[in-house]
Amino acid sequence: MRAAVVTTFGGPEAVEVVDSEMPEPGARQVRIKVAAAALNPVDAGVRAGAFGGAGKRIGLGWDVAGTVDAVGVAGGTSLLERSRELGGAWAVGDEVVALDYGMVKPLGTHAEYVVVDTDAVAKAPATVDAVHAATLPLNALTAARALDLLELEPGQSLLVTGAAGAVGGFAVQLAAHRGISVTAVAREADEELVRSLGADRFSSGEVAPGSVDAVLDAALLGERALEWVRDGGVFVGVIPGAQPASVRGVRTTAVEVSPNGTHLAELARLVDEGVLTLRVAGAYALEEAAKAHARLAEGGVRGRLVLVP
């Protein structure tokens, strides 16, 4: 089996595609034959050593779309059989999406096969191909969790920074779907895009202080974006622990995503209903993983780059 890994930290050239042992699913796990796996900024961080793991072989990739290839066995009874008794199951051949969470792990989703826990898996959206489906898990789960932390009611106002990016774009669509009034902050060239996602208002960076109920800071503007929140409002960042300190009674926090097949299934349903748009900026063969990392490093990507084994 082929897999993209790093054994030394560095730039895109540090990514290697190597032969790896086929992973075997244990109890409450499934093995997925990878059809597509998105490349995210967190992968670049892992590659550069931002999360540690020096001296180890580290697998890359968090998002996956593919087909269940094997189901774990527990106590002599297949997990599939036990699941059927409870009214639900993952069977070989099921088309699924999943989030394989973890900064430092021996194998990620940038591989021909990956093993994940069953509760991280959801049925793949039926209306898109695997390349598009692979862009859903990490970024949509992050956006949805951020909105839950904001606790906004319909009619309240939300400003999303980095609204043309993957997390920001999903946040705009999800917030608009919930009846929240969205101001999108992005580059001027992206105004048409973010308005098409459901933003009511657009700004390229000039926002009146204290003018919105909440900010979701996908662009990592920090204290600058915090100024735009009204007294007693809410600020949510996307890097745990990196949010600015509270001022003026503004509650500040940050989202930390986790695998959740139930929530992912709901997001997949919203894709099929046309609420969420899956954007692919480009597709690369797994063997071109380093090339995909180089493209990501150039910046200006709209949508996700996807690796295809």
Q: Map out the domains of the chain as residue ranges.
A: 2-136+279-308, 138-254
> Which residue stretches of the chain have pLDDT < 50?
75-88
Domains 2-136+279-308 and 138-254 share a fold: no
pLDDT in tens, 22-52: 999 999 999 999 999 999 999 999 999 999 9
CATH number for the region 2-136+279-308 comes to 3.90.180.10
CATH code matching the domain that covers 138-254, chosen among 3.40.50.720, 3.30.1330.100, 3.40.50.2300, 3.30.1360.70: 3.40.50.720
Q: How many CA atoms lie within 13 A of 129 on its CB side?
A: 8
The H-assigned helical ranges of 123-165 are 130-133, 137-150
C-alpha–C-alpha distance, residues 260 and 113, integer Å: 20
How does pLDDT run across 229-282, given as a tens digit for each residue?
A: 999 999 999 999 999 999 999 999 999 999 999 999 999 999 999 999 999 999
Q: 286, 308 in Cβ contact below 8 A?
A: yes
Strand pairing report for 63-71 and 29-39 = antiparallel
pTM of the model: 0.93
Share of residues in the chain with pLDDT > 90 (%)? 93
